[in-house]
Every structure is written in structure tokens, then in C-alpha cells.
A and B are shown apart, each in its own frame.
Chain A
Amino acid sequence: MRISILTIAFSALLLADSLAVEPSEILDDPRHESRARELSKALRCVVCQNQSIDDSDAALARDMRILVRERITAGDSNEEVLDYVVLRYGDFVLLKPPFKKTTLVLWLGPILMFGMALLGALLFFRRQKSATSLMKCDPSAELDETERKRLNALLGGQKK
């Protein structure tokens, strides 16, 4: 089972601690079992908070785990199993939300933001280039008399 550190640190969420996949659920064919584990990690336990059915000890998660294994044993491909589960529980069970209208912002957001950041950097360099010719650099002009004295005192203090 899994609980996030801070949830309990802050809201003292009470959860009994027993562990997820039980030996009786495990399939005989190790290839089937490893596919079941992989799929379980991508499916949300719908009565839990942000837990996959692979980590959850809720009764419903157990039922879903068994359902996934049944479909695999029946010869479904991974996609078919997911489609089957989604048909019953809705998109909400997918921890990786499908790409559709309501998740457009979610999926395109990161790409858009990276693009905007790149564009921002590009504009920054362009503006800097045009500013170079106009600007006269004179860093010392920023310090007034008292500051310069203070700076000198500090610098002098460090030289032995």
C-alpha cells in the first residue's frame, strides 16, 4: 500500500496497513502476471486517494486486480483490458489520462510552456543584441561615493 508522506504528516489520514497483491491472486503464467502488474500500476483505485490498484489494499482494488487478471487469462491484449476497464469505470481509472478535449491543456501545456520559454529566451537575446549598440557599460557609475568608500574598505580589509 502506499500513502504519501505529507498527507499523513499533515492531515493524519488513517489507513490500515496491509499489503496489496496477495499470493492467491497471482497468475501461474509469469508473463501474464507481469503484464497484470504493469496494467495494475496504470489503473486507479477509484475509492482511494491517488493510489493505483497495484498498491491499494481496498476491497475494490482487489476486485479490479482480479478482473484485470481474468481478462488477461481470457486472451485480451493490454489495450483490450484497459478498454474493458474504462468501459466499466470511466476514464477516471486511467492514471495517465487519455488525450481528448478535456485533457488538451494538460497534455499540450508542458510543450506549450517549453515553447514559450524558448521564445522568451530568443526574444531576450534579440533585444540584448539591439541594446548592445546603444548601451554604454559603466558599472562603476552605479555606486555612489559612500558606497565606493565602503567597498574599498571591505576590499582593503581582505588584502593582508
Chain B
Amino acid sequence: MTAELGLFALTLAFAVALVQSTFPIIGATKNYISWITLAGPTAITQFVLVALAFGCLTKLYITSDFSVLNVVQNSNTSMPLLYKVSGVWGNHEGSLLLWVLILALYGAAVALFGQNLPPALRARVLSVQAMIAIGFYLFILLTSNPFERVFPPPPDGRELNPLLQDPGLAFHPPMLYMGYVGFSMAFSFAIAALVEGRVDAAWARWVRPWTLAAWCFLTGGIVLGSWWAYYELGWGGWWFWDPVENASFMPWLAGTALLHSCTVVEKRDALKSWTILLAIITFSLSLLGTFLVRSGVLTSVHAFATDPERGVFILALLIVVIGGSLSLFAWRGPQLKTTGLFQPISREGALLFNNLCMTTATATVLLGTLYPLFVDAVGGDKVSVGPPFFNSVFIPLMIPMIFAMAIGPLLNWKRGDLFGALGRLKLVGISSLIVTGATWAWHNDGPVFATLALGLSAWLGLGTLVELAGRIKLFVPGAGSWARVCRLTRASWGMTLGHMGLAISIAGMAGAGGWTQESIQTMKPGDTIKLSGYDFTFKGVHQRKGANFTSAVGTFVVHKNGIYVTNLSAEKRNYPVGKMQTTEAAIHTTLGGDLYAVIGDHDGNDGAYVTRLYFNPLVVWMWIGAIVMVLGGVLSLSDRRYRIGAPRQSRHGHAKELEAKSMI
């Protein structure tokens, strides 16, 4: 019954979406009040129905109902409850259901909390949301039904992929989807604005919180995935430039650009049509990411061609959404009038420069990801585009941007003083040169990029502090710095923390990328290996039994200069149902670096094992930086101005404006 109820609810949600996608948007144009007011209730109903469908699938998983094919393929009675639940979205059909659930959730949030939006705009936004939803409902109902029954039901299921049975990865897809789908809000607002033919500061204020929320989730999702790769895959790698990673990274890059250009629309009423275009691009990349991962096109163009049903559907959806929205943009975009003018050297100019670098970076990642597919499809040679390509193109693109990130916030709106800003950064520049030089003197064995990256990290971090100090007039006696700290808006804290977080992360990436130390060997119990000043003593292996796996646990005792540091227990797990082995690295985190131990295969009869020991410098900085970035996003999101959603010039912004005017 539950499966049928779920399917019924999903079909009903589709019907509701049909209503939601047509009446409100027509009503907004014709000014039929009753049609406009339909938007809210339909959005909420749609959400309730999808939530019901999702609830049904979850119940089927929790109760291990093996009369449902999807449960058979991805669950097993011996799995812990957490992974039974995460199994719901750990597969194709379920993850699409999660996609529409989140889409409906955002729609319902607009319906419930968007009371201060003009009714016509709200109606249009919700209609566009429903149009996207229709595409996905059709996809699920026609090609990917999660509620399909199987007869006769098998006694037990096949188990979720053991690599996915991990707390970090259980929450990775929902976070990622909250981000992906969240950009649909920016998209819907952009389409609504194009239909209405109007973009202003108020519009930017309504779009920004949704974009920001999506950005925070996407950042969190990417980092969670990266962190998982770091501790689960067994050698300390955290980013591989793999097409599926790129699929989530492209919307992130474009979304970051969108956040910055939204600021310009909001504060200065400029870059409007560009911002609209970016909103369309960002969501298109989210859809493209779904297509890349879902269609099987990545494995091989030929696999895609032989089983094309799902792939062709997503491709068609992609063409309709992207083609349609870009056509609308080409038609209505030029009518958007801009009033805010600015010089190239100005805050807006710096934000535009950010956009320039970010979009080029996005395009580069897109090119590198699709190039092998493209060459393969046109029948050329097979080409590999791997990490060395991305590193050699992406990193040089980021250097000027990060360099400019410290300068931009010091420039005034409209017209900035570049030499003044550089003057304020003189000490920062000297300090970062010292950092680079000291790193070089201390460890000139690492790659040049890593050494430079540490210098850039110092430049950005200290530069951000200088900007903050300037804003609160820290070094001006009697300026009441503390009072100024209290008066800073949360949005401005968001900027400071966002930039600071990136600076911290860059240091982590440089450390982990540049100076990882590794030792691979066979160790007998009692053997000691010295690595980066730490003595790892192998204590042997014992067996352990988990809920649905058995595990060989290798223990190491670590000393530094004879003083006990920690015990490391690395596992090698065997999952009998899925017939798979996974490694669980043992990690001891310090600010200076991670001690990382992995146990390999049995070697000989005297209890000897292959062991891999690593010292990964500064890795934790990467995660700390990411948390700081997300924290900045959340703080900015909680800014009162955005919650009220009313265009109001802050006192600070107003003063800046006057200052800028007086300069002309």
C-alpha cells in the first residue's frame, strides 16, 4: 500500500504543479487577483504531496519492504538504521525524488516566508519553479519510478554500496542538492524579472538570500564530499578534478560570481542584465551537473547511446530550460535599464573583475570536463583531461583574482583610489613576501605553486584584516572602534569571514598539496617507522565485527621525541553482502598537520602487513576555512535587512554614497 500511496502522491503533486505553473503567471500578466493568489496554496500543497511521497519511500526503506525494487537494490536488513535512511537517496530514483522534494521545499518557503514580495512577482517565481518541477516529475514518473514493485519479493536486499555507508556521505547528497536546487530560486527570480521587464535593488535583495542559502549548502556539500574522500579513500587525496566533482564545482563557481554581482545590483543598480544571465547560467550548470552524473554519459558516450532513455530525457529538459531561458534573455534582457555608472577602478569594478575570473574559471572547468566527451562524440582520438591540466590552467586564473580580493574591498563605490588601497596594503605585501621567503627557506622541496599559495593566503588573510581594521577605525584614537564593531552589519561580517575563510583554506590546500610526506612499507608488529619527526610503532592487527561487516584493525602507537602522542587504529573492512572492502584511515589531527595511517594487505605469516603512513601538513586548515566561509554566509543570511526584504539604504552605504558623490 505504501508504495502505491507514494506514487499516487507524486502523481498528484505533478497535477498540482501543472496548475501552479500556468494560472499564477498568466494571472500576474492579466492582473487576475484570484489566479495570482493561487500560487501560494498550490506551492504548499505540492510540497506536502512530495513530502508524503518521500516519506513513503523512506518508510519502505526503514521497514525493509523488499517487494519494492528500489529497496531490494539498495538496502539490506543488516544495515544500521542511518544507512537504511540514507539509502533512500543513495541511488538514481531516490535521489531524483530528493531533488523534487527540495525544489518543492524552496517553493513552499517562498509561499510561506515571501509575504513581503509583490504578489505578482511571487506568483511568477512560483510558476517558474513549478515549470522546473514538471520536468522532473515527468522524468521520475516516465523513466525512474522509485516505487516499482518486484515479484516475487526476494528474502533480503542487495545492500547500499559500502563506500556510501558513512556518516559524512550520508548527508553529502542532501546538502549538495539543497545547493543545486537552491539556485533554481535565483533562476526563477531571473525569469520572473525578465517577464516583468524590471530588475531593481529590491529584486536583488530578494534574490540574494536564496542565492546565499544555496551557496552555503553547496559549499557545505562539496566540503563534506571532499572530507569524505580524504578519510575514506585511503591516501589523503581530497580533490581529483573528476567530472562528477566538477559537476558540483561549476555551479559553485558561477554561484559565487552571482553572489558578488547581486551585490552590485543591490547597492549600485548596475550590472543588471549580467546578473540575470549569471543566474540563468548558474542554474543551467546545476542542471548540467545532474545530466552529467545521471545520464551515464561520463562513463562513455557509447554507453549513453545504447541506453539513451534517461539521458535523452534530461538532455531534452536541458535544452528546453537553457535554450528557453537564454532566448527569453536575448529578447527581454536589453530592455533592462541600468542607472548606476562606475569607473573600472572601483568597488563595482573589482566585483566585475571577480566575475570575470570566476566565469572564465567556470568555462575552463566546463571545457576540460566536456572536452573528452566532445572529441569522442565527433570520432576523434581519445583524449584524457586530468588533474595536471586543470591545475595548470585553473590555478593561474585564481592567482590574479585572489590578489584582487584583498584590494577590492578597500576601493570606494563608483570610483576608487587604487594607489591609496595599495598603500594601505604595503605592510601586508611585505608580510606575505616574508611568508613566501620563509617557506622557501624552510622547505624548498615543495612545488613552487604551494610556496606562492602560502604567500597569497597571507596576502588575502591580512588584507581582509586591514579592511576590517579600517572600517572600525582600529588605529584611530578616540574613534570608538568597539562601537563601530557593534554597528557593522552582518552582511559585511559575511564578506570578511568569507574572504578570511578562503585565505585559511588556501593555506590548507597549499600545505596538503605541497609537502605531504609518505611512507609505504611492510611492517611486522613492533616495527617503528620515523616520518616527519613522529615515530609510528606498529602493534599488530586484531579482528572486529561490525553490524554488517568484519574488520581487521591495525593499531599504531605514535611518539614524538619519546613523548606519547596518540594511538591510531586503521581499519580494513569487509562487507560480505556487497562483496566489497573499504579502508578506514586512522587520522590524528593537529593544527600543523594530520597523522594519517592506513592498513593494507596481509604480507607473510608473521603478522606483517603493508602499511601506509602519511603526514599531511595543514589539512585541517582547509576544513576550518570552509567552515568559516559557510559561517560568513549564514551570518550574512541572518542580516535583518534581507529578512525584511525592503530596500533601505543602510547608514553606512549612504555615507559612502555621499562620499563618492562629493568626489565627482
List the interface of chain A (C-beta within 8 A of B).
1-23, 26, 41-42, 44, 49-50, 52, 55, 90-97, 102-103, 105-106, 109-110, 113-114, 117-118, 121, 125, 128, 131-132, 135, 137, 139, 142, 151, 154-155, 158
12 A-B contacts (beta carbon < 8 Å): A1-B234, A4-B242, A7-B244, A12-B74, A17-B582, A19-B235, A52-B386, A91-B384, A92-B382, A93-B384, A109-B363, A154-B648
Contacts of B522 in A (CB 8 A): 23
Are A151 and B647 neighbours in the complex by a CB distance under 8 Å? yes
Contacts of A52 in B (CB 8 A): 386-387
Give how many B residues have a beta carbon under 8 Å from the other chain's beta carbons: 82
Find the residue from B95, B381, B580, B598 having the highest chain A CB count within 10 A: B381
Are B581 and A97 neighbours in the complex by a CB distance under 8 Å? no
Are A17 and B583 neighbours in the complex by a CB distance under 8 Å? yes
> Contact string, B275-303, partner A, CB cutoff 8 A, digits 1/0?
00000000000000000011010110000
* Cα(A10)–Cα(B234), bound, Å: 21
**Which residue of chain B lies nearest to A114 when distances are taken between CB atoms in the complex?**
B360
Contacts of A18 in B (CB 8 A): 581, 600-601
* Cα(A139)–Cα(B582), bound, Å: 62
> Contact string, B228-254, partner A, CB cutoff 8 A, digits 1/0?
110001110100101111011000000
Are B359 and A155 neighbours in the complex by a CB distance under 8 Å? no
Give the secondary structure class of B's interface: mixed
* Cα(A139)–Cα(B367), bound, Å: 41
Are A44 and B363 neighbours in the complex by a CB distance under 8 Å? no
Q: Assess whether B19 is interfacial by the CB under 8 Å rule.
A: no
Contacts of A50 in B (CB 8 A): 240, 242-243, 384, 386
Are A139 and B269 neighbours in the complex by a CB distance under 8 Å? yes
Are B381 and A91 neighbours in the complex by a CB distance under 8 Å? yes
Contacts of A2 in B (CB 8 A): 229, 233, 235, 237, 240
Are A17 and B356 neighbours in the complex by a CB distance under 8 Å? no
Q: Assess whether B388 is interfacial by the CB under 8 Å rule.
A: yes
Given known contacts A4-B244, A6-B247, is B385 in contact with A102 (CB within 8 Å)?
no
> Contact string, B252-265, partner A, CB cutoff 8 A, digits 1/0?
00000000000000
Contacts of B647 in A (CB 8 A): 151, 154
Minimal beta-carbon separation of A154 from chain B (angstroms) = 4
Are B580 and A128 neighbours in the complex by a CB distance under 8 Å? no
**Which residue of chain B lies nearest to A93 when distances are taken between CB atoms in the complex?**
B384
Select B371's contact among A12, A44, A95, A106, beta carbons within 8 Å: A106
Minimal beta-carbon separation of B646 from chain A (angstroms) = 4
**Which residue of chain B lies nearest to A6 when distances are taken between CB atoms in the complex?**
B244
* Cα(A155)–Cα(B116), bound, Å: 13
> Contact string, B351-395, partner A, CB cutoff 8 A, digits 1/0?
011001001100110011001000100001111111111001100
* Cα(A54)–Cα(B462), bound, Å: 37
Are B384 and A151 neighbours in the complex by a CB distance under 8 Å? no
Given known contacts A105-B371, A110-B367, is B386 in contact with A44 (CB within 8 Å)?
yes
Minimal beta-carbon separation of B576 from chain A (angstroms) = 14
